[in-house]
Chain A
Amino acid sequence: MERIVFYILALIIVVFAIASVSSRKILRAVIYLLFVLMGISGIYFMVDYSFLGAIQLAVYGGGVIVLFIFSVLLVHHVELELEVTPLRKKLIAGAVVLTGLGISLWAILTFPFQQAAAGRTIEVSDIGHKLLSVDAGGFILPFEVISVLLFAVMIGAIVIAKGKKLNK
């Protein structure tokens, strides 16, 4: 049963990812990206990391996608179609990507991973304790750095987006 659900999710993710990088209507591409992100959060739920799945849904499905839709609606006409990429560029990119994919897949599939016997369910409190722990192996410093980063990004985004119109 879980096998089937995983394969359905994987199919959804791959199909909509391809649609998202190849669709010529930009708003549709954003919505396809939303489906990909929701599929990945589905995989987080399946491996029992419900907290990460919820974060993925809230931050990506709720925040990032809305930002994308806003910017698309601000700078494009909705019906506008993107320019067609030249076939030569597509072929070169496809060759590079297929080579990289082949090498990576070969490296992954031939590496002998030693899977652990049984997983345990991760509680949200475990993640919280780990994030705020000051002992060895705790993550309090990166946590604080991330909070400073988010603050700086807030100020930076406001300052940059307010910028003056120079061509007048």
Chain B
Amino acid sequence: MIEGISIYEILTLSTVVFFIGVYGFFTRENLITILMSIELILNASALNFVVINTYLYPDFLQGTVFSIFIIAMAAAETALAIAIIINLYKLVNSVEVKDTDTLKY
């Protein structure tokens, strides 16, 4: 718990970071930068878990454990997605979203 800071301020911060990630997800056209926006979204939600745990239920640990799981999932997802992106680059020589339409039609 941070002295002088209420839960509303930290939740506002994490909401802002979440929606900045959503904005990046909508506007970016490169697979790597889209993946970075997803990292922002996941980080904001992990921060939410921790903050709600520490401000509302300080005697329990569920939020902390779930944040650890979120971080592990995010790392796994990033490793797999980057493997796919590198393989895709070998196939079509580009990582732009508009060029990756082989499965589309």
Q: How far is the CA of A31 from the CA of B35 in the complex (A)?
A: 14
Q: Number of contact residues on B: which range applies?
A: 35 or more
**C-alpha gap A63/B75 in the complex (Å):** 8
Residue B54, interface by CB 8 Å:
yes
Closest 3 CB pairs of A and B: A21-B24, A93-B26, A119-B58
**Distance (whole angstroms) from the CB of B6 to the closest CB of chain A:** 7
Collect the chain B residues with CB atoms within 8 Å of residue A26's CB.
30, 32-33
On whether A161 and B36 interact (CB within 8 A), knowing A75-B95, A122-B64, A127-B61, the answer reads no
Interface size class of A (residues with CB under 8 A): 35 or more
Which of A95-146 touch B at CB < 8 Å?
96-97, 100-101, 104-105, 108-109, 113-116, 118-120, 122, 126-127, 130-131, 139, 142, 146
Chain A interfacial positions (CB closer than 8 Å to B)? 2-3, 6, 10, 13-14, 17-18, 20-22, 26, 29-30, 33, 36-37, 40, 43-44, 46-49, 51-52, 55-56, 59-60, 63-64, 67-68, 70-72, 74-76, 82-83, 85, 89-90, 92-94, 96-97, 100-101, 104-105, 108-109, 113-116, 118-120, 122, 126-127, 130-131, 139, 142, 146, 149-150, 153-154, 156-158, 160-161, 163, 165-167
B34-69 contacts to A, CB under 8 A, are 35-37, 39-40, 43, 47, 50-51, 54-59, 61, 64-65, 67-69
